[in-house]
Amino acid sequence: GAVVSQHPSWVICKSGTSVKIECRSLDFQATTMFWYRQFPKQSLMLMATSNEGSKATYEQGVEKDKFLINHASLTLSTLTVTSAHPEDSSFYICSATRLWGASEQYFGPGTRLTVT
């Protein structure tokens, strides 16, 4: 149990376009979902925390107008990278927690974004 999927697994887009990444909890209801980005050979950097039905909480330095997060249901959160630029190229990973207050996170397989 506790499977999280992401779609797409990889995407290449042109500079200036927007890209939407979906994160789904397949066999449980996720009260909270997290979005991370990871550069090669580096750690995971938390971008934002989203709770179903409420606005996402962004980490310091993350532009909320550039990285739009929607958590419309207990099984789906989306991250939209707007007006993407080459420096936005990265590995984006979502995770989800199963119950209120539980801190164990289940990670999706990640989305490799390349902006040309």
Which spans of this chain sit near another protein (rule: CB under 8 A)? Answer: 32, 34, 36, 41-46, 49, 60, 93, 95, 97, 101-110
Nearer to another protein, 64 or 85 (CB): 64
Report, in Å, the least distance between residue 15 CB and another protein.
Answer: 26
Residue closer to another protein, measured from CB, 14 or 41: 41
CA angle 99, 66, 60 (to 5 degrees): 60
Q: Is 107 helix (H, G, I), strand (E, B) or coil?
A: strand
Of the candidates 26, 45, 23, the residue with the CA atom closest to the CA atom of residue 91? 45
State the nearest-atom distance from the C-beta of 108 to another protein, in Å.
6
- Give the closest residue to 15 by CA, choosing from 89, 111, 86, 96: 86
Cβ of residue 70: shortest distance to another protein, in angstroms? 19
| Residue number with CB closer to another protein (34 or 67) | 34
Residue 16: exposure state from Cβ atoms within 10 A (0-12, 13-18, ≥19): exposed
Instruction: Tell me which amino acid residue 90 is.
Output: S
Q: At closest approach, how far in Å is the CB of 91 from another protein?
A: 9
Q: In terms of CB distance, is 77 or 108 closer to another protein?
A: 108
